[in-house]
Amino acid sequence: MALSFSISHFLGLSLHVVILALFVPFLTISFVAIAVCTWLSRRSRLLPLENASGMIPLASNDIAELTKVKHDLESLMKRSDAAGEQEEDSSREKRNGGSDAESAASTVSRSGDTVPVAVEGQGNIGWGRWYTLKELEIATAGFSEENIIGKGGHGIVYRGVVDDGLVVAVKNLLNNKGQAEREFKVEVEAIGKVRHKNLVGLLGCCAEGSQRMLVYEYMDNGNLEQWLHRNIRPTSSLSWEIRMKITVGTARGLAYLHEGLEPKVVHRDVKSSNILLDRKWNPKVSDFGLAKLLGSEATYVTTRVMGTFGYVSPEYASTGMLNEGSDVYSFGVLVMELITGRTPVDYSRPAGETNLVKWFKGLVANQRLEEIVDPLMTVPPHARALKRVALVCLRCVDMDACKRPKMGQIVHMLEADDFPFRSVGQRLDRVKEIPTIPEEPRRLPRFHTPSNLGRVPEVER
């Protein structure tokens, strides 16, 4: 009986009365809490609406920054549009004989992209400088004929003096069916940042409207073609030592293009008129308008055949497949030109002597080396020196492109310690870029060369 009372009663009250007394306050407190939360939530949603018409909107710092950037961008676009309109107005005035004021900015089209051209006062571009058209007009005295130092199929070269007193060569590219734009792009991409003592330096450029110009360092001794083929004196100023200095320097420059850069650069137009000279007969390879870039994994690139007749390798002329071997062939023809003083193709000569390469090969094979020497040289070369250089030429113009040496290997062969054209006091600086070591000696392929002409070292491929 006592146990039943303790379970059904608590403090003298029935158990259901106790439960109800506890549940009602808990339920009341829960309702109050829910109501307070609901009110606070509604209040927070109403705050933006209450301040919507106020002078200070409730915007976060991020939103404010984004708004500022948007306004700045819109202002920049408006200024750019205004500059474009100013350029159009200036060009229109120039065509109509009006004001010759400078355009504020111009752009260079590059395969659909546009690259801004720096305005005056902002001409530095890392490797060189953007020149304005007016600056180059002043430097060349209005592109006067008196300042013309060269003409070619791709443009006219002027001598000029820029505002800092530096003498430069300004190449005005001829815009034949977009050729100026293509050559401009190729030269800037290929050698804009390249610096080598045997490569002509690109100092800057200019692009305004349809005008495309390149500014190079000035070489004050002309080009090799002028000294070889336009000499009106009875003897040549190019001694054997000078010719070999030009040969080695040109080989160094091409070796750097092929083996010292990534991607490698195939010049595609190696010839005597593209070898510039200074007063000390140091050569510099120039004119990269036809150059092609070749990646490290690519063995060749297929392209439209370009170049100069007589210098183009036979496999490139027939297939359009281009690689460094094409430059090696052209270099071989160039060295033949240096030795003989003849042009690669000369229709004024007898039938068997029209083509320089074929004529040269025939004389070497028949041991008539004395007949290949330029008759305008006052002092003929040493017989052993002539043999060695002649055989290097034959290696370069091998009909099998795979058997031609690399340019770095050619530099090594020309600079070997036992190379006989060097005498005491006339040693050339040793090249440090391409330390190629030849392997065991081997006779030249495809030619029946007598044993007493010596052998040419076989070089690794």
Q: The domain spanning residue 444 has which CATH number? A: 1.10.510.10
DSSP 238: -
Say yes or no: 255 and 152 in one domain: no
What is the number of domains present in the chain?
2
Answer yes or no: 346 catalytic. Answer: no
Q: How far is CA 215 from the centre of its chain?
A: 14
pLDDT at 428: 43
pLDDT at 89: 54
Single out the residue in 162, 195, 217 at which a domain terminates.
Answer: 217
| 2 within some domain | no
pLDDT at 10: 56
| 11 within some domain | no
| 279 within some domain | yes
pLDDT at 152: 74
Which class for 260: exposed (0-12), middle (13-18), buried (19 or more C-beta within 10 A)?
A: middle
Say yes or no: 353 and 447 in one domain: yes
Say yes or no: 334 and 350 in one domain: yes
> 66-108: per-residue pLDDT in tens?
344 344 434 544 544 454 455 455 545 444 444 333 333 333 3
Say yes or no: 146 and 199 in one domain: yes
In angstroms, the CA 65 to CA 63 distance is 5
> 309-338: per-residue pLDDT in tens?
999 999 999 999 999 999 999 999 999 999
In angstroms, the CA 336 to CA 320 distance is 24
**pLDDT per residue of the chain (461 residues) written in tens, 0 to 9:** 444 444 555 566 677 777 777 777 888 888 888 888 887 776 655 544 444 443 333 333 433 443 443 444 345 445 444 544 554 555 454 444 443 333 333 333 333 333 333 333 445 555 778 899 999 999 999 999 999 998 876 789 999 999 888 999 999 988 766 777 777 888 887 778 888 999 999 999 998 888 899 999 999 899 999 999 988 788 899 999 999 999 999 999 999 999 998 889 999 999 999 999 999 999 999 988 888 888 777 787 888 888 899 999 999 999 999 999 999 999 999 999 999 999 999 999 998 999 999 999 999 999 999 999 999 999 999 999 999 999 999 999 999 999 999 999 999 999 875 454 444 334 444 433 333 334 433 333 343 333 333 333 443 33
Say yes or no: 371 and 260 in one domain: yes
Domain that holds residue 139: 106-217
Residue 236: how many other CB atoms lie within 10 Å? 17
Say yes or no: 135 and 234 in one domain: no
Q: Please identify which residue in the block is written with the tokens 């303790």.
A: 6
Say yes or no: 255 and 213 in one domain: no
| 167 within some domain | yes
In angstroms, the CA 145 to CA 159 distance is 10
Among 269, 287, 327, 398, the active-site one is 269
* Cα separation values, 22 from 15, 54, 450, Å: 11, 50, 124
Which positions ≥6 away from 278 have C-beta within 8 Å? 219, 220, 221, 284
Say yes or no: 142 and 274 in one domain: no
CATH code (residue 191):
3.30.200.20
pLDDT at 126: 56
Tokens in use for 315? 């496999």
Say yes or no: 142 and 244 in one domain: no
| 450 within some domain | yes
C-alpha closest to that of 270 among 338, 334, 189: 334
Where helices occur in 224-304 by DSSP H, the ranges are 224-229, 240-259
Single out the residue in 163, 190, 217 at which a domain terminates.
Answer: 217
C-alpha closest to that of 168 among 197, 207, 128: 128
| 136 within some domain | yes
Say yes or no: 329 and 190 in one domain: no
Say yes or no: 114 and 238 in one domain: no
Single out the residue in 202, 217, 232 at which a domain terminates.
Answer: 217
CB 149 within 8 A of CB 169: yes
Tokens in use for 100? 């010759």
Q: What are phi and psi of 157, to 5 degrees?
A: -105, 130
| 89 within some domain | no
| 65 within some domain | no
Say yes or no: 313 and 442 in one domain: yes
Tokens in use for 304? 């439209």
